[in-house]
Structure 1
Amino acid sequence: MQKKMMILGASALQIPAIQKAKELGFQIILVDYDENAPGFPLADVKLVVSTLDQEEVYRQALIYQPDVVITSTSDGPVRTAAYVNERLGKTPDLSYEDSLCATIKSYMRDRLKENGVPIPAYYAVHDFEELKKAVGELKGYCIVKPADNAGSRGVVLVDVRNSGGQAADSKKEVTDLIEIDNDKLKEIYEYSKSNSRNGIVMAEEFMTGAEVSVESMTVNGETTIVTITDKFITPPPYFVELGHSQPSELPEDIKTAIRKVTLQAVKAIRLQNGPSHTEIKVTESGPKIVEIAARLGGDFITSKLVPLSTGVDMVGSSVLLAAGEKTDLTSRWERGSAIRFISGIPGIIKRIVVVEDIHALEGLEEFVLYKKAGDVINGTKSSNDRLGYVIASGKTAREATDTAIKALKFIHIDMEEE
């Protein structure tokens, strides 16, 4: 009898996992709230259901009886998959309780703190008054973000030294605090809360230093770190990822420290089998965890950059692991890869011109545009605001990055004010 795999999410980022599951001969049951999700044409069974609706997904699982329920690159569905697998009586690779610690930042911070993993100072706040108190405790210079979301949605730097909520030079000492501008701070609170699925907002110490992500796979409780990715973020007050490069160009001693902290974090969330994506800031006092996710890295980090830089198929390995098959995480080569996203200023896209010479760039692997003429752009406040991307490869991370940056110069976005 053909085995069945229920995959939560049918977005473009999930398609590599869907394709791999089909190659393995699974009947594919796809779940997504968007009836036009690009992965749905690959489905044997198409279910237009929110991947966050645990009870409805469970009800559908009782009907279709999948052998396993998985997700690929999305945070919220990690909880749903854990919940449904437990309710179906399957041995979970991540328990539902532990899935909360891998997806909800307040739970995550508590679990990491309990296990002695380096993290920033933090407060989980439930109303505006609690936020004001937390901002005061953090000396008026902190990150405010949703406890339950991803993709930089609702993330803002608060600096009460500069007329309430404006960004300042992160290298300066926090001195001469001014009175909190209540209106601006409340606007930030409401923005973050509106992006938090559970209504909880986090206020955290603002960490400075290089930022990386660590791409790992855990098999029977043993974690293999495949690679470390350098991350490139927009300036404050919003923190949107505009690029990733592999392998990290940080010094070896720092990368050794990053690996140590990563393994501590994976152990703390009790992941038994599956991928993890750990974001880390390299502060003056050493690496500290920004977030850890029990899933593959998004932004094409694991689906495209990792294969280009290492030859490791992490997407395929995650599906094989979920299916109870053996995985091979051995690096086949050491090369470089990079992705750079296209950003725009607020307004309406007048036209997009791509210079034909872009196709002749050596090392350019792919470029994609999400937007078209007439689309309204809100600036770059979250990953949803990005206009497209380019991916490049090279002998080294630097070579791949240079090619990606060069490719961006061949793409011209003409804007007009709304």
Structure 2
Amino acid sequence: MKKLLLLGGDATLLPVIKSAKARGYCVITCDYLPDNIAHKYSDEYINYSTTDKEGILTWAEANKIDGVLTFTDSGVITAAYICDRMGLARLGSYEAIEIIQNKDQFRTFLRENGCNAPLFRKYTKRDMPEMEPLDFHFPVMIKPVDAAGSKGVTKVVAKEDLCSACEYALEFSTRKEIIVEEFIDPVGPQIHGDCFVKDGKIVFIYLGDHHFDAGINNLVPVSTTWPSVHSEETLKKVEQQIQMFINKVGFMNGCMNIESRISKADSKAYLIDVGARSGGNYTPYVIQYASGFNFIEAMLNFSMERKPYAQTVNKQGFFAYLVIHAEKDGILAKVTIDDRLNDKIVERHDYIPAGGHVRSFRGANAAIGIVIAKFDSMDEMQQVSNHLNEYIHVESIPLVV
């Protein structure tokens, strides 16, 4: 029986486990949280941090694992390391995955290889007293080099707010490093989606539009909607930049998550972020509803069988994920979904029960749950995604200080 090691343990792995078991694989899940739900459905659980690449490699070699997959940022570099050392099916070289997963290396690589890249500079905590990005024009973006889900990210519009934003970003960086980069003022919404790569070529891609809750944080998406409102010509610009980056960096097989903007200044497509994994917030599952492309089966075939997975793709309909989120920290009392959404809901996933602690939605890890919805028209989908608080209401009890 072939053995599949999955790095992670949250609910998004349940469809992966189901598909892998249907193929007859033995499924092992791994993280340092034994109560995570995926471990209840896998054949075996091992307790390691998903960043412990040496420890997991030793276990994987001893247990003769046939494939390693992850759908979280924390496990991507570890999965690449194990596959590289064991000669398993891999996304690309370990060095390529490191470039993709680290924002400073990613930005440097883009600039040095002729891809469109915003002006940026890396700083460490030691640099902070002398920090003086004289060649930047405000606003600028402050980001930890090694955090995902928009954690620690701030848009700074004035110099006097720079240091506090940098200190905030450092809190989320394991390496205690940040980047300051120019803000790309976009034409239309930020573009987001997943693609699948086979032998270094994009064989499937579906890009949609990000939506944000400006009342809380205009940097953490509360929805992505498919299809995009951008023209095919515009989306082709993004795809060309992605393929150019893939060619240069040597990413060979598997999922890639993309965030991009079209600049008002020069009409070029800029890659804001990429990840060597499928997107969060159930992105690959929404795309499957919207197109028929099954990322799970494609990844299992690549990782465990080393062969392509034949698929019929038909992009149609209007689909979105909607993030259930709170405005302030507190204790969750109730989530109310407007009756107008009832017949639109395809799936609903609640992460936190009533009585649980909720946080202000300043990072993707503060989500209370996810709704996958199907709409009758583009206008209806845009109305809901742009005014989400009118359709999903979260009641919480303030924390007593």
Q: TM-score when scaled to structure 2?
A: 0.90
Q: Once the 2 structures are TM-superposed, how far is the Cα of residue 87 of structure 1 from its aligned partner?
A: 1.5
Q: Spell out the pairing of 1:304-383 with structure 2 (5 A cutoff).
A: 305-323=286-304, 324-349=306-331, 351-354=333-336, 357=339, 361-383=342-364
CA–CA separation in structure 1 for the residues paired with 2:18 and 2:357: 33
Counterpart in the other structure of 2:256: 276
1:156-305 maps to which residues of 2 (within 5 A)? Answer: 156-160=154-158, 164-165=160-161, 185-209=162-186, 210-235=189-214, 239-284=219-264, 285=266, 286-303=268-285, 305=286
Alignment check: 8 A CA contact 2:118 2:182 kept: yes
Deviations 1:384-403 (A, max 9, x none): 22232322113544444546
Letter in 2 for 1:127: K
Q: How many Å separate the matches in 2 of 1:411 and 1:289?
A: 31
**Is the 8 Å Cα contact of residues 310 and 332 (structure 1) preserved in structure 2?**
yes
Deviations 1:99-147 (A, max 9, x none): 1011111111122222211111111111253586354331342111110
Which letter maps to 2:22? Answer: E
In 2, are the aligned partners of 1:155 and 1:239 still within 8 Å (CA)?
yes
Letter in 1 for 2:183: F
Larger deviation, residues 326-335 vs 252-261: 326-335
Cα deviation, residue 367, structure 1: 2.9
**Matched residue, 1:181:** none
Displacement of 1:54: 0.5
Count of residue correspondences: 393
**Distance across 2 between alignment mates of 1:5 and 1:193:** 35
2:212 and 2:337 mapped to 1: Cα distance? 26
* 2: CA distance, partners of 1:266 / 1:22: 32
Residue type of the alignment partner of 2:211: F
CA contact 2:192–2:224 (8 Å) conserved in 1: no
| Residue 414 of structure 1: aligned partner | 395
Check the 8 A contact 2:217/2:361 in 1, yes or no: no
- Which ranges in structure 1 are unaligned for 5 or more consecutive residues? 166-184
Asked if structure 1 preserves the Cα contact closer than 8 Å seen for 2:325 and 2:394, the reply is: no
Distance 2:344 2:319 in 1: 9
Deviates more, 1:14-23 or 1:394-403: 394-403
Mean CA deviation greater in 317-326 or 281-290: 317-326
Q: C-alpha distance in 1, partners of 2:137/2:339?
A: 51
User: What is the CA–CA distance in structure 1 between the aligned matches of 2:126 and 2:218, rounded to whole Å?
Assistant: 20
Give the Å deviation of 1:266: 2.2
SS of match in other structure, 2:343: coil
Specify the code of the residue in structure 2 equivalent to 1:348.
Answer: G
Please give the TM-score of this superposition, normalised by the length of structure 1. 0.86
CA distance in 2, matches of 1:131, 1:270: 38
Kindly provide the amino acid, as one letter, of the partner of residue 392 in structure 1: A
Deviations 1:23-82 (A, max 9, x none): 2211112111111111112222210111111101101112211011121x2123111111
More displaced stretch, 363-372 vs 110-119:
363-372
Distance 1:132 1:207, change over 3 A: farther
The one-letter code matched in structure 1 to 2:328 is P
Q: Identify if the C-alpha distance between structure 1 residues 88 and 14 changes in structure 2 by more than 3 Å, giving closer, same or farther.
A: same
**One-letter amino acid matched to 1:260:** Q
Secondary structure in structure 1 of the residue aligned to 2:60: helix
Q: Percent identity?
A: 22
Where structure 2 has 5 or more consecutive residues not aligned to the other structure, the ranges are: none
Structure 1's 287 and 198: CA in aligned 2 closer, same or farther, altered over 3 A?
same
How far apart are 1:406 and its partner, in Å?
Answer: 8.4
Distance 1:132 1:395 in 2: 55
Shift of 1:281: 1.1
